């Protein structure tokens, strides 16, 4: 089956590395910036634009992301089947299932999640992140307002006290950056093993209804409001 991949930047390097070893490689591998998640409507618009750019040779497009704050809802294609993992966000892909990710979140409610892709996308709190944010606020609003805005910036991390690091491929540089983040934020640093099963099976087109939703051509992706996550 001829297929291509559209993934969040968080998974781009992993998809490229895993795809290189496949017999049936994706025709195209495209990605979008992880920061798009901050605005679900924007992310949906970006994904729809990317879908229109794929070659008509494709039969399927594998979407390597999840529900992502409802950004996936409303997606459709008249040209290809769309395949999406039944996960709420990228953690489900790292853990191998939505259920495993939910168990982790329930047992670690104050955990910040990180991976090499998160770090490359600049989503990790760090000294540099705080300095860049303050410089931006000073430039746009002045010193006094910057102090107030930095308090709000710091508050978004107040509910965390530990950081869990996961990776599909070893990256000593990313591990060090994550550990440095933990020191800066005064968080506990924990590394846990990622489960490659879901992403590997997806790239090998080992698609089953329990773990993936296949959206037929011309249909619009909707929420199922149950453990299946997606429906039509």
Burial 21-30 (b: 16+ CB within 10 A, else e): eeeeebebbb
Residues 211 and 133 occupy one common structural domain: no
Nearest to 163 by CA among 142, 146, 144, 179: 179
pLDDT of residue 90: 94
Q: Report CA torsion sign: 171, 172, 175, 181.
A: negative
Residues 121 and 183 occupy one common structural domain: yes
Tally of domains in the chain: 2
pLDDT of residue 132: 92
Residues 102 and 185 occupy one common structural domain: yes
User: Which positions of the chain have pLDDT values less than 50?
Assistant: none
Residue 95 backbone class (left: φ over 0; alpha: ψ -120 to 50; beta: rest): alpha
Residues 109 and 187 occupy one common structural domain: yes
pLDDT of residue 144: 87
Residues 162 and 176 occupy one common structural domain: yes
Residues 128 and 70 occupy one common structural domain: no
pLDDT of residue 122: 85
Residues 150 and 209 occupy one common structural domain: no
Secondary structure (DSSP) of 195-225: --HHHHHHHTT---TTTEEEEPTT---EE-S
Say how far apart CA 31 and CA 9 lie, in whole Å: 6
Instruction: Summarize pLDDT for 25-44 with one digit per residue, the tens.
Output: 999 999 999 989 889 999 99
pLDDT of residue 37: 86
Tokens 């901050």 belong to residue: 38
Residues 162 and 204 occupy one common structural domain: no
pLDDT of residue 82: 98
pLDDT of residue 153: 94
Residues belonging to the chain? 232
Domain coverage including residue 214 = 3-88+196-231
Is 0.85 topped by the overall pTM?
Answer: yes
pLDDT of residue 191: 96
Widest CA span in the chain: 59
* CATH number of 84's domain: 3.40.50
Residues 187 and 201 occupy one common structural domain: no
Residue that is last in its domain, among 159, 175, 191: 191
Residues 173 and 105 occupy one common structural domain: yes
Instruction: Summarize pLDDT for 95-139 with one digit per residue, the tens.
Output: 999 999 999 999 999 999 999 999 998 889 999 999 999 999 999
Residues 173 and 140 occupy one common structural domain: yes
Residues 108 and 187 occupy one common structural domain: yes
């Amino acid at each position: 089956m001829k297929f291509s991949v559209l993934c969040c930047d968080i998974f781009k390097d992993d998809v490229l590395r895993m795809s290189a070893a496949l017999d049936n490689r994706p025709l195209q591998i495209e990605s979008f910036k992880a920061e798009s998640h901050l605005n679900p409507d924007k992310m949906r618009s970006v994904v729809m634009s990317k879908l229109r750019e794929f070659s008509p040779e494709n039969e399927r497009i594998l979407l390597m992301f999840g529900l992502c704050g409802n950004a996936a809802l409303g997606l459709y294609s008249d040209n290809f089947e769309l395949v999406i993992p039944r996960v709420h966000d990228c953690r489900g892909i790292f853990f191998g299932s939505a259920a495993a990710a939910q168990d982790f979140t329930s047992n670690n409610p104050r955990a910040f999640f990180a991976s090499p892709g998160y770090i490359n996308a600049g989503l990790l709190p760090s000294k540099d992140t705080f300095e860049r944010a303050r410089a931006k606020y000073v430039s746009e609003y002045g010193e006094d307002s910057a102090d107030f805005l930095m308090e709000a910036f710091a508050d978004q991390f107040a509910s965390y006290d530990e950081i869990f690091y996961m990776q599909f491929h070893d990256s000593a540089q990313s591990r060090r950056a994550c550990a440095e983040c933990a020191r800066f934020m005064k968080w506990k640093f924990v590394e846990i093993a990622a489960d490659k099963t879901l992403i590997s099976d997806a790239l090998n087109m080992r698609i089953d209804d329990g773990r993936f939703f296949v959206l037929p051509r011309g249909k619009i992706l909707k929420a199922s409001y149950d453990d299946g996550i997606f429906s039509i």
